[in-house]
Chains A and B, each alone.
Chain A
Amino acid sequence: MIKNTIILVLLFYGFIFPQSEINTFEKSAFAISYINSSEKNGLEDYWEIQNGFGGYFQTQFYIGEISVGVSLFTFKGLKGKHNNFSSSYIYFSWIGVLKMPLNSSLGAGIKVGTYLMTFSGDTLSIFQKQESELAVSPYAIFSIQVFDPISLNLSGEFITVFTHRPMKFFNISAGVSYAFTTPNWLKRLFK
């Protein structure tokens, strides 16, 4: 409840202080992060989630910023009863950003994407080895520029995967991002 409230407040500020039209797609960034994840809805009875990695590309939008990215996780079957599997969360996100002192910023947004799962096991058919499902995750991120163009990022997100019994994860991640002026060819593609 508290984290949802914080995210809603930040989303509100993201709309109140949007990027001006002139800045749309001007600046972009690449980011990578290390993710600590924990499962919150019963999957932990069968699998143990391992720490993961993520990366995304972000650019300024008409309001806030948008990004596309992927987060990778592995799941280890408990007591050898269940096969291991890996997952890729491929998402598109929007974030509202609030500029803060000391070249820092606070943002909140929402990711929507597909949660791809690949199961290991020699006896599984091709159809059983792969599965995908819609996933949605509100998230918040704190960012501080250590030196131009590098920033440090710290973020938290709550992922819901809409399987029949929903899978829910809480992730904390830390990483770095590299900002740059969007090349003209890329701006033309976005517009």
Chain B
Amino acid sequence: MKYTIFIILFLINTEIISQDFSSKNEMSKTIITNSELKESGVINVSDILNLLYNWNISTINGYSFDASPNNLSLNQSVIISIDGQEIDLGNQDFLNLNLIPLTIDQIDTVEVISFPQLFNGKFTKGGLINFKTKKPTKGLSLNLFNSVGNEVGDPGPYFFTQETSPNVDKLGYLLSFNLNTRGENWYLRSFVKTEENYLTDSAIKDRINKMGSESKSEMLAASVILNFSALDGIHHFLFGYTQDDDFIFFKQIGQEVPAKKNLKHFGLNGKFELTQNIGLNYHIKYADNEFINTSSSPPFNFLISDKLIFTQIESEYKNKNITSTFGLSIENKNITQLGFSNRLDKITLYSSLNYFFTPNTNYVIDFSTTKQNDKILLNGALKNFWAITPDNNLTLAFSFSQNLFMDKFAIDSQLYSSFDYYANNNTDNKTNLLASSLSFNSTLSRKLNIQLLGEYRNFFNYTLEDFNYQFNPINENIETNYSIKGNEFLKILSSSVEIEHLISKTVTHKLYYSYQKDFDGSYLFQELWKSFPNHKFVYSINLNFNDSFGIWAKYYFQSQTDWHQYRYFNYQSNDESSSTVKAYSTMDLSIQKWLWQKHIWLNLVVKDILNNRQYFHPIGAGFDLRFYFQIHVYFHSILI
């Protein structure tokens, strides 16, 4: 049945034409430049998620996020890559983008895909973030980056009086250094960073301290990038290493577990130009990730080793009107947990056709099929662009995607053996999503850009995890009832408007509003979806007095969310905890200044100027006014 729908959509779609390909924001693809990252006060890599207004994010600790792109999934399944090489960050916890071995001064652009489609042979079912690194200047260059942050609310001198209150330590510390060199046909980047975060909020601190751990996380990361031209092609080698001593939030037990992650990545991708029209792309990767419990009083023990070998080959044909690709990838993952091993094999065939039907119309057709163990997964996307006039364009897109539930939870499944859980046998553990999107983009007199978007999602034959957290008022522990349920479904409609206006050469401002609502679905799916806000409103203004000094400010509002998993918390905790996260608004400010002929860049960031105590998650930390300071030092083209 689902395949029939897919084919019908394909046929319908080929009758519709539609666009403008030179636009910076293609269909559900957002490009964020380095200067945009800097001016908006991004410090940690994970802060980038705060700029993706069509993503639903929540955080417990303030630096790891649960991210759902553009209503594409309930759980996060975002692909993270650096220069086109997927980085396996381990998905057991919330998405901690800070684990990638980069800092923002290394990033040239961030490509964000919020609609299912093929990207470098990967089907982006749950969105994708690709970090494109900078190409160094000729000769030798080096950068330094340092940042510190603090949250208000320390007791100050009242600590020595009867009016004392808990101490609030600094929020984080980040120091990085990189050394780069570039020749005629090659460049080399080497990078190291160290990062510390302090979990001082009593909500988290109490849970962690019960496990006999200090409430501080530490990270060390390094990377080497070598880019070179040889054999009529361009080749890109990436080595990345991250060691993270942190607190991983396990949904299965509803709390943090002190754990260490060691992530190693060796990857080589590149392209050979066989003829003027034909190219051959390749990608080879080896990743070795370790995940170790470091708690002195653990709820369960684990030492997981996850080794992955990935190979991909792709042919590409290009002419004036057509770009087509055809590729094959093979992935072998070997997971061992305390001596027991589990093997996951995936073979994927994919193809993409990008056809310029007329100078102002364009089709893109993506298709991929994956054989994973004994199951076949199908994915496809159809996009139509139509430039109605040079300033107005229309985009229509459909996609169908399938996931294996246990794919995402492959490592978790090893841990599940420590728990009793109930799996509904009526499910084949697949998740299916049909997504469509209609977008109208209009530019008026080059000073005003308006984008209107309407989207539809249909999740069907979906497998869901059902967590039922219980708060024990006697020992203040969280206890979990956990089950897996199949045949769940949900239908959603959403719309958004984004208006960007150039007031003058120095002042631009942007307004964003979105509304989403489910209108049909199974009880569990509908309840779980309430953890996403119905309304979001963002207003930002950017004042660039010149290329050396700028001020950026943002106002953000999101409506109330309800967290089904914590539905008994109000009653069980005598209203000290709640399953509802109230509507909140924040106002952030970022002031930046270049010094010494652009050798030094300073940035002061103040978050939540209104100083409203905010909660982003029912059992997460509360945040007050906080401020950060960062300094970047650049020395380019020395010793040429």
Residues of A with Cβ closer than 8 Å to B?
A: 21, 43, 46-47, 62-63, 75, 82-83, 85, 92, 112, 114, 117, 119, 128, 131-134, 161-165, 167, 188-191
A117 to B168, CA, bound (A): 15
> A131 CA to B165 CA in the complex, in Å?
13
Contacts of B549 in A (CB 8 A): 62
With most chain A CB atoms within 10 A of its CB, the pick from B153, B157, B625 is: B157
Known: A164-B165, A191-B597. A117 touches B627 (CB 8 A): no
In the bound complex, do residue A132 and residue B150 qualify as a contact, i.e. CB atoms below 8 Å apart?
A: yes
A–B complex contacts, Cβ < 8 Å, 29 sampled: A21-B546, A43-B158, A46-B157, A47-B157, A63-B545, A114-B150, A117-B156, A119-B160, A128-B159, A131-B159, A132-B150, A133-B150, A133-B152, A134-B150, A134-B627, A161-B156, A162-B625, A163-B154, A164-B156, A164-B168, A165-B165, A167-B156, A167-B157, A188-B596, A189-B595, A190-B595, A191-B595, A191-B596, A191-B597
Let me know if B545 and A62 touch, CB within 8 A: yes
Query: In the bound complex, how far is the Cα of B155 from the Cα of A133, in angstroms?
Result: 9
Q: How far is the CB of A82 from chain B (nearest CB, A)?
A: 6
Known contacts A134-B152, A134-B625; A112 and B604 CB within 8 A of each other: yes
Contacting A at CB under 8 A, from B164-207, are 165, 168
Distance in Å from the Cβ of B198 to the closest Cβ of chain A? 13
* Contact assessment for A62 and B159 in the assembled complex, using a CB-CB cutoff below 8 Å: no
In the assembled complex, which residues on chain A have CB atoms less than 8 Å from the CB atom of B604? Answer: 92, 112
Residues on B with beta carbons closer than 8 Å to the beta carbon of A131: 154-157, 159
Name the CB-closest residue of B to A85: B157
B35 within 8 A of A: no
Given A134-B625, A191-B548: A82 and B153 within 8 A (CB)? no
> Please, which residues of chain B bring their CB within 8 A of the CB of A92?
604
Q: Which residue numbers of B lie inside 8 Å of A, CB to CB?
A: 150, 152-161, 163, 165, 168, 545-546, 548-549, 595-597, 604, 606, 611, 625, 627
A119 to B160, CA, bound (A): 10
Give the CA-CA distance A128 to B548 in the complex, in Å: 40
Which residues of B are found within 8 Å of A164, using beta-carbon distances?
153-156, 158, 165, 168
Other than the given A62-B549, A164-B156, 9 more pairs (CB < 8 A) read: A46-B160, A117-B156, A117-B157, A131-B154, A163-B153, A163-B158, A165-B156, A189-B596, A191-B595
A131 to B627, CA, bound (A): 16
Question: For residue B548, which residues in chain A have a CB less than 8 angstroms away from its CB?
Answer: 191
A43 contacts across to B, CB distance below 8 A: 157-158
B158 to chain A: which residues have CB within 8 Å?
43, 163-165
Contacts of A117 in B (CB 8 A): 156-157
Contacts of A167 in B (CB 8 A): 156-157
A82 CB contacts on chain B under 8 angstroms: 157, 160-161
Which residues in A have their C-beta under 8 angstroms from that of B156? 117, 131, 133, 161, 163-165, 167
For residue A162, which residues in chain B have a CB less than 8 angstroms away from its CB?
152-153, 611, 625
Least CB distance from A187 to B in Å reads 11
Residues of A contacting B159 with CB < 8 Å? 128, 131
Q: Are A188 and B153 in contact (CB under 8 A)?
A: no
| For the complex of A and B, 7 pairs with smallest distance between CB atoms | A163-B156, A162-B152, A164-B165, A62-B545, A164-B153, A133-B154, A189-B596
The distance in angstroms between the C-alpha atoms of A153 and B548, with both chains bound, is: 31
A112 to B545, CA, bound (A): 21
A107 and B533 alpha carbons, distance in the complex (Å) = 45
Chain A residues positioned under 8 Å from B161 (CB to CB):
46, 82
Q: What A residues does B153 contact at CB under 8 A?
A: 162-164
Alpha-carbon gap, A189 to B595, bound state (A): 5
| Chain B CB within 10 Å, residue with most, of A83, A163, A188, A190 | A163
Q: Are B160 and A83 in contact (CB under 8 A)?
A: yes
Residues on B with beta carbons closer than 8 Å to the beta carbon of A83: 160
- A59, B37: Cα distance in complex, Å: 29
A190 CA to B156 CA, complexed, in Å: 34
Q: A134 CA to B153 CA in the complex, in Å?
A: 9
A63–B418 Cα distance when bound, in Å, is 63
A112 / chain B contacts, CB cutoff of 8 Å: 604, 606
Which of B161, B597, B627 has its CB near the most chain A CB atoms (within 10 A)?
B161
Distance, CA A163 to CA B156, complexed state (A): 6
The distance in angstroms between the C-alpha atoms of A165 and B163, with both chains bound, is 8
